[in-house]
Structure 1
Amino acid sequence: MLSIGQITVPHSTSPHLIFKQSININIINKPSLMMPPNSSDAPAFEEDLSNILVCPECNISPPHLVEEFSSGDTVCEDCGMVVGSRIIDTRSEWRTFANDDQGGDDPSRVGGPQDEFVEGQQLATTVAFSDSKAHKALSRTQNNTNENKQQKGLMMAYKEIVSLCEAINMGQNVSNAAKHIFKLVDKHKFLKGKPQEAVIAGCIFIACRQNNVPRTFREIYNLTSVSKKDVGRVFKQLQSFLQKLQEQDGEATGLNTVTNYENTSVGAEDLCGRYVSQLGFVKQNKIAKISRELAEQANDISALAGRSPLSVAAACIYMACQIVGESRSSLPIAKQAGVSDGTVKTAYKHLYAARDTIVKKEWFEGGASMEKLAQATAA
């Protein structure tokens, strides 16, 4: 039998040794090739970060290298040499390549955000509309395939709500609350057959109350082409509808809507600050503060009970501007409040009659006094 280190040579009957038995061959085991010992104290594997990529032309350390993901190259800032190529962009992909032919930015990643006012999963595909006849036909076909008449009606109503809220400078919280109320009305098939403008006006008015935004009923219904009577009737029906939902179903969201609704009317003190800012007084803050306090005191005047808060607010502003020495005619104040000049003067007479109890002496500025206040009334 043959042993290790022996070989059989052809045409020979005796074995020959290749190596002498006294020579030992040792293989050096490198630590990098060895398996880690089975011990809990062994260090964990760590990547060797000592390798530094340096530009061979500049040979500057640290190197000034820039990764150009658009071309997939690593370029030296100093000499412009391409040090590496075909690098992989590990950043998030935000493009959808939907507008490649237009050459504009395409930052979209996964479509639009979820709209809480729209039912369904909102995963439909939209085809971009362009001047090409083929694109127009494809877009029209796609829209007809995915068309949902109920959702289309909701979106048109939401657009109208946003437009009306922006017309009288109301914030997004009011428009969102109005959208939510309109969605509840549409979901429960309430007020079917009523003019949509009247329903939208009622939703906006209730949303203003929910978010403590002082807007009068006249300001709301003037936005629409519907009569005041129709809007008022729809508003009362919406009130009872929302209160019924709150008591029976408890249906609400986090939009400060049904569960936080309180049937509170707008007072004269809520309107003074906005009217003063729109009239452009020089001492705007002072007049707004005094007129607001006068309006609060006017709640105790029996002669003003039952009067419109618009006329009371205008009369308080008229008195406040005289107190601080910035007198102004009652006519522009009445126009801003949306009432007649005679109505403001009538309310002002009742305020003047109670001047000793509602006017504080420390309010007077610029040589103004209670006597001059009386002269302004006579004029």
Structure 2
Amino acid sequence: MICSVCGLVVGDRVIDVGSEWRTFSNEKNTKDASRVGSAENPLLEGADLSTMISIGTGDASFDDQGKPVYRNRRQMNSSDRSMVNAFKEINQMSDRLNLPRMIMDRANTLFKQVHEGKSLKGRSNDAIASACLYIACRQEQVPRTFKEICAVSKISKKEIGRAFKLILKNLETSVELITTGDFMSRFCSNLGLPSVVQRAATHIARKAVDLDLVPGRSPISIAAAAIYMASSASSDKKSAKEIGDIAGVAEVTIRESYKRMYPKAHALFPEDFKFATPVDQLPPP
């Protein structure tokens, strides 16, 4: 260490704690490159420290039959390989649904528990992964519908539902019941409805459930019908088809729930709601 002004040697045995290689790019504002690979994955037996050999492009990389000489499957056991594939599937579905990392990690942990328990042996790993993501969403209080999970998965809704029931039975875990309020804010936001309509729809759905006007109906269809009623009474009107496309509910299903709520419409709206369309002029069911 030398003074740049007078040339005085300040220290002749100073340990350089920086990287041991030179960089020629402007990386002053960024961290040094790392040579230690990706972060460990505690869910895998080898902590994700297995060797991954890429397939070469030269003639020496393939045998007489045209198969690659080096194969990654020799470097990773079958259990870890199936889990890695499932984790990739969960990661892709989470990205398509814009879910945070916390939910993805919970889904990965659930899949590992199911995989180690071997209670669902013979079931498709993709179906189990989809069901684990559905359970993780409900446990983190941001539930998604089966149709939303099915839309980003390769598995049918029926198969995901079967895997969901088996996981709950074998892991002895529980999920809270879905309510209309769990979907209301997301549906109204996707429809571009103001907060006034959202509050009114939430009040209508809760009141309809309390008065037992829609027995046997799913919370999703009740929420969709409540949004339809609240928007019809406001200046931001939405059709049943528009709401059904966002909520993943058939237009007929929304109208059926709306038909049961319509006779008591005057008692369902909050007292401070400002009507653009009076209750007696709401669209008939």
| TM-score normalised by structure 2 residue count | 0.81
Q: Which residue of 2 aligns with 1:242?
A: 171
1:94 CA drift (Å): 7.2
1:207 CA drift (Å): 1.1
Q: Does 1:199 align with 2:128?
A: yes
Q: Which residue of 2 aligns with 1:46?
A: none
In 1, are the aligned partners of 2:244 and 2:251 still within 8 Å (CA)? yes
Distance 2:141 2:102 in 1: 11
The one-letter amino acid of 2:33's match is P
Per the alignment, do residues 344 and 89 of structure 1 end up closer, same or farther by CA in structure 2, a change over 3 Å counting?
same
Q: Which residue of 2 aligns with 1:154?
A: 83
The one-letter amino acid of 2:37's match is G
In 1, are the aligned partners of 2:55 and 2:70 still within 8 Å (CA)? no
1:165 to 94, 102, 122: 94
Q: Does 1:297 align with 2:173?
A: no
Q: Which has the higher contact order (CA 8 A, sep 6+)?
A: 2
Distance 1:301 1:167 in 2: 38
In 1, are the aligned partners of 2:204 and 2:270 still within 8 Å (CA)? no
Unaligned runs of 5+ in 1: 1-51, 64-82, 98-104, 244-260
Q: Aligned ranges for residues 159-238 of structure 1 at < 5 Å?
A: 159-238=88-167
Distance 1:352 1:144 in 2: 61
The one-letter amino acid of 1:278's match is N
1:114 to 37, 40, 44: 40
Distance 1:362 1:166 in 2: 40
| TM-score normalised by structure 1 residue count | 0.63
1:240-297 C-alpha deviation (Å, 9 max, x unpaired)? 1111xxxxxxxxxxxxxxxxx533232222111111111123x2x2222221222211
1:171 CA drift (Å): 1.8
The one-letter amino acid of 1:228's match is K
Q: Which residue of 1 aligns with 2:246?
A: 336
Distance 2:196 2:265 in 1: 18
Unaligned runs of 5+ in 2: 24-30
Q: Aligned ranges for residues 65-144 of structure 1 at < 5 Å?
A: 90-93=16-19, 107-126=33-52, 141=70, 143=72
1:165 CA drift (Å): 1.9
In 2, are the aligned partners of 1:205 and 1:215 still within 8 Å (CA)? yes
Per the alignment, do residues 144 and 196 of structure 1 end up closer, same or farther by CA in structure 2, a change over 3 Å counting?
closer
Q: Does 1:353 align with 2:263?
A: yes
The one-letter amino acid of 2:19's match is E
Q: Aligned ranges for residues 8-23 of structure 1 at < 5 Å?
A: none
Per the alignment, do residues 234 and 289 of structure 1 end up closer, same or farther by CA in structure 2, a change over 3 Å counting?
same
Q: If each structure's helix is expressed as a fraction of its own residues, which one has the higher value? A: 2
1:375 to 270, 277, 281: 281
The one-letter amino acid of 1:279's match is L
Q: 3-state SS of the aligned residue for 2:98? A: coil
The one-letter amino acid of 1:321's match is S
The one-letter amino acid of 2:39's match is P
Q: Which residue of 1 aligns with 2:183?
A: 271
In 1, are the aligned partners of 2:127 and 2:163 still within 8 Å (CA)? yes
In 2, are the aligned partners of 1:128 and 1:135 still within 8 Å (CA)? no
Distance 1:96 1:188 in 2: 49
Q: Which residue of 1 aligns with 2:236?
A: 326
Per the alignment, do residues 347 and 121 of structure 1 end up closer, same or farther by CA in structure 2, a change over 3 Å counting?
closer
Q: Does 1:280 align with 2:164?
A: no
Distance 1:150 1:112 in 2: 20
CA RMSD of aligned residues (A): 3.5
1:132 CA drift (Å): 5.7
In 1, are the aligned partners of 2:266 and 2:279 still within 8 Å (CA)? no
In 2, are the aligned partners of 1:175 and 1:204 still within 8 Å (CA)? yes
When the two structures are aligned, how many residues end up with a matched partner?
274
Distance 2:58 2:117 in 1: 42
2:5 to 49, 55, 61: 55
Distance 2:21 2:112 in 1: 33
Q: If each structure's strand is expressed as a fraction of its own residues, which one has the higher value? A: 1
Larger deviation, residues 156-165 vs 320-329: 320-329
1:56-89 C-alpha deviation (Å, 9 max, x unpaired)? 5xx9xxx9xxxxxxxxxxxxxxxxxxx9999856
Distance 1:276 1:320 in 2: 11
In 2, are the aligned partners of 1:325 and 1:364 still within 8 Å (CA)? no
1:33-65 C-alpha deviation (Å, 9 max, x unpaired)? xxxxxxxxxxxxxxxxxxx93535xx9xxx9xx
Distance 1:301 1:54 in 2: 83
1:131 CA drift (Å): 5.1
The one-letter amino acid of 1:374's match is D
